[in-house]
Amino acid sequence: MKNYLGRMIVLVNDYEAAAKFYEKNFGFHRLFDTTSPEGERYLHLGTKGENVLGIWLMLATGEEQQQKVGHQTGGAPLMVIYTSDIIELYQQLIVNKVLISKKPMLGDSFRFLHCQDLYGNEIVVVELN
């Protein structure tokens, strides 16, 4: 038996705006995008590969979910994204006007920065050496 993580859910107000943010800034692709006969959209983003962890963008419905958009983790980081080049990605995020909440910290075996998505969710970006 093999088990693996599949998707993490991110509440959003706009599917396309959120998808474009992750595609433009992190190079994610649409892994799955369909609408059910009942009108529910299933939009999954991630990197290509087998059994890859992805983001399931879920439209916030109702007042309770809408209030949680941008801070569904209560102020803790929402996710960690790994990169092969933190400096190049940092420069790309700056050009794209992404809010950087912690500038790159450079250690011996790792480098990291914190940024926010378009809703204010904290994302940790890490490069392992």
Residues above pLDDT 70, as percent of the chain: 99
In this predicted model, what pLDDT tens digit does every residue of 102-126 receive, in sequence order? 999 998 999 999 999 999 999 999 9
What is the CATH architecture of 7-128?
Answer: Roll (3.10)
**Predicted confidence (pLDDT) at residue 50 exceeds the cutoff of 80:** no
In this predicted model, what pLDDT tens digit does every residue of 70-95 receive, in sequence order? 999 999 999 999 999 999 999 999 99
Structure confidence at residue 3 (pLDDT): 81
Q: What is the 3-state secondary structure (H, E, C) of 14-54?
A: CHHHHHHHHHHHHCCEEEEEEECCCCCEEEEEECCCCCCCE
